[in-house]
Structure 1
Amino acid sequence: MSYPSMSRRGFVAAAGTTLASATLATTPLNSARAQGAAPKALADLATIAAKKPPVVWSESSDTAAIAKVIAAFNKTWPDIKVEFIRDTGGGTLAAKVVQESQAGGTPAGVLTGDQSQFAVLDQRGLLVRPDWAALGVAQASVVSPFMVPTTSAIGVIVWNKQKVSEADRPKSLSDLTNPRWTGKAGAWLRTPVYVSMAHLMGEADVRAHLQKFVSMQPKLYDSTYRLAQEIGTGEIEVGYGLTHSTLPVMAAGAPVEFAFTDPVAISTLYTCCVSKSANPEGAQVLATWLAGRDGADAYEAATGRGNPRVEGSNAAKLVAGRKLSEYPLTDYPTFLRLLADYNKIMSTRGAR
């Protein structure tokens, strides 16, 4: 197998059973125990939240998947109601909150997405700044005053194993620029994972890679799910994709395989709480739960996207022992600069 720390079959099976395990662990009795063991600050917020309108959660995942996450959350916090509004692509989360706030409306209370959008909202004073540690968030996840890490996109080499042998498949990011893959390779049009790779690989090396890659007539996609699907059908043969969008294609029986690069680029998605929402107290309870083991397991089982920061999660096991590449939040200006730079390079080719 291409990832010896956990086999593909084992990982797919584990991901599929995580939510079931979480559900078994949250019977009504255990729910009461979980609430009783909660820090006082979190329990106090939950008491207030139970008397307020539903928490509205918005992000890019499929509605059916998030319904499973909400069901798992309600096993522990049954009195806090949650509704979901999908933001396809996840690129307009901040804009919608700004628009609704300016119009005097009630914006969504919980947002899960990329740091660049949430920094804008915090600068406008639209986000709650909880005491995450007092709410019970593990120290490893207390990385920002206004958001907590919830999941990570994990970059991987993907290939069609009926068309490309193990011996011939790309072993590294640079291998994707081998002339043999001209017109046969694909990637996501957006570049946050490439930006993460630059942290350890180097800005100039990643920039040179992208410039060479786009000259090879690759197929660029606005969705990594479509990228994985078209590798599966043989429309293209290789690509640089993400684990969470590749695993469902593999589970469906498509002849697709993936392997990690060295280092492994990850792009963390965060959850924040909107201060002008109808139930900011419930938003904080949900965000705290998502940052913990129960929330991480439920979210990963439902969406395929895990949180490697949470000890014991499938995502943590998947990348155990590997070098992870991502700019820290303290280097946010570099992230923004490179994102604009690399996106511009990819845009010269355009999405399919």
Structure 2
Amino acid sequence: MGRTAALVFLVWSVMLWCWETPHAAESAQSPLSKLVQAAKTEKELTLLGGGGTWGDADAQKALENGFNRKYGLAVRIKFVPGPAMPDLARRIADEFKAGQKSASDLFLGSESHFVEMTRSDALPRFPWRETFPHIPAAMVEMDGRLLREATRYIGISYNEQLLAEKDLPRRLDDLLNPKWKGKIASTPYAASFDRLASVIGLEKTRDFLKRFTQNVAGLIRCGEEERLASGEFVLLALNCGNYEAERGRRQGMPIGARVLSDVPIVGYWYVSVPKHSAHPNLATLFGGFLLTQEGQKIRYESVGATAHLIEGTPANKQYKELQAQGIQLKDFTSEYVIKNGKTLGQLRDEFQKILQQR
């Protein structure tokens, strides 16, 4: 090789090295690093939620601070009071159909609340496990459209000062005892009774509800633990999740909860990032953060809810305790509920009428 040719080769090699080096570094970047970099360009995250979805002002600040600290961000999270979860889910679906940005960058709700958004194709797939390897595979559902955020053990909530441990119902039929007449509450939306029909059968559920309503003194919403604490009712059946009792205790209320041995129903809270999110990278990163040890700790301290598939969480410990008691828990996932959405909706309508016509 002549001197001129050698010089040309050397210059070309240097240029190629200069071009390849940053691209090699970029390709070596982890999916999480890329997501963090993209999230840093979005600056602000908007989260709508009703009731205790995101906790009180202190809990919201803890989430914002923990999120920023975890990923080296300086993001402002706008927690905006919003409608109940079913109404917010419909709103997000309607906004997608209308070609508008989603009012909330991320949605948190139960398995039932995603039926409409799934039908409208408002939820994108995302490789959660690739980006967040710590997330157990079972927590990713619907091909990455939904991510489990917390476990809901369905049971009863009660006033610990008015009910002794020995007097608590252990099984479903214990709620039919005449001693409860005029003392217990249920929910206006017949929470979890549609799932109960899948466990004990439709006819048995209908028969139970017709007899159960004779003892029901009133209907209250999930999250109204203060009405149990005040003594207006001594017990709520069925609840929306035993984590609500933990939330009540953190607010100084004497609220307990338990799973009935023959009602082994488990539901979940899920998060999803709509296709029309204004800040999709921040929302996705925040969804993954909720399932870190830091995120789970903050959620437990604020709303009492954690995920049982994450080792060491309170929900994980309770899952093991229930299994040790011989209670075989039955999962009701988003895939089950979305697949059977029409039937479950009809059952809810029927059961709500039974409760409301007591």
Structure 1 position 294, deviation (Å) = 2.9
Deviations 1:107-143 (A, max 9, x none): 1221111233334223323222111221123212122
Residue equivalent to 2:305? 305
TM-score when normalising by structure 1: 0.78
Cα deviation code 1:234-275 (max 9, x no counterpart): 212222233232224334554443322124322211100112
> What is the TM-score normalised by the length of structure 2?
0.77
C-alpha contact (below 8 Å) 1:50/1:79 kept by paired residues: yes
Query: What's 1:345 paired with?
Result: 351
1:141 to 2:139 alignment = yes
Q: 3-state DSSP class of the match of 2:46? A: strand
Name the aligned partner's letter for residue 67 of structure 1.
Answer: K
- Report the number of matched residues: 313
SS at match of 1:91: helix
Q: Which runs of 5+ in 1 are unaligned?
A: 1-37
Larger deviation: 277-286 or 87-96? 87-96
Q: Shift of the alpha carbon at 1:316?
A: 1.2
Structure 1 residue 317: Cα displacement: 1.0
**Structure 2 residue 171 is the aligned partner of structure 1 residue 172:** yes
In structure 1, how many angstroms separate the alpha carbons of the residues matched to 2:38 and 2:61? 23
| Residue 76 of structure 1 pairs with residue 70 of structure 2 | yes
The Cα RMSD (Å) is 2.8
Which shifted more, 133-142 or 341-350? 341-350
Q: Check the 8 A contact 1:150/1:268 in 2, yes or no.
A: yes
Asked whether the 8 Å contact 1:164–1:237 carries over to 2, the reply is: yes
Change (3 A) 1:45 1:255: closer
Asked if the contact 2:195/2:332 (under 8 Å) is kept, the reply is: yes
Q: Which residue of 1 aligns with 2:7?
A: none
Counterpart of 1:59 in structure 2 is 49
CA distance in 1, matches of 2:335, 2:247: 34
1:281 matched residue in structure 2: 281
Structure 1 Cα separation of the partners of residues 97 and 334 of structure 2: 28
Instruction: Give the match's secondary structure for 2:223.
Output: helix
Contact 2:110–2:269 under 8 Å retained in 1: yes
Indicate the SS of the match to 1:58. strand
Q: How does 1:189-338 map to 2 (within 5 A)?
A: 189-221=188-220, 223-226=221-224, 228-240=225-237, 241=239, 242-262=241-261, 263-322=263-322, 323-332=328-337, 333-334=339-340, 336-338=342-344
The corresponding residue for 2:80 is 85
Structure 1 counterpart SS, 2:107: strand
What stretches of structure 2 of length at least 5 have no aligned partner?
Answer: 1-27, 323-327
Stretch of structure 1 that moved more, 60-69 or 267-276:
60-69
Deviation for aligned residue 1:341: 1.0
Secondary structure, counterpart of 2:86 in structure 1:
coil
Distance 1:177 1:258, change over 3 A: same
Check 1:164–1:298 CA distance in 2 against 1; reply closer, same or farther (3 A cut): closer
The structural deviation recorded for 1:166 is 2.8
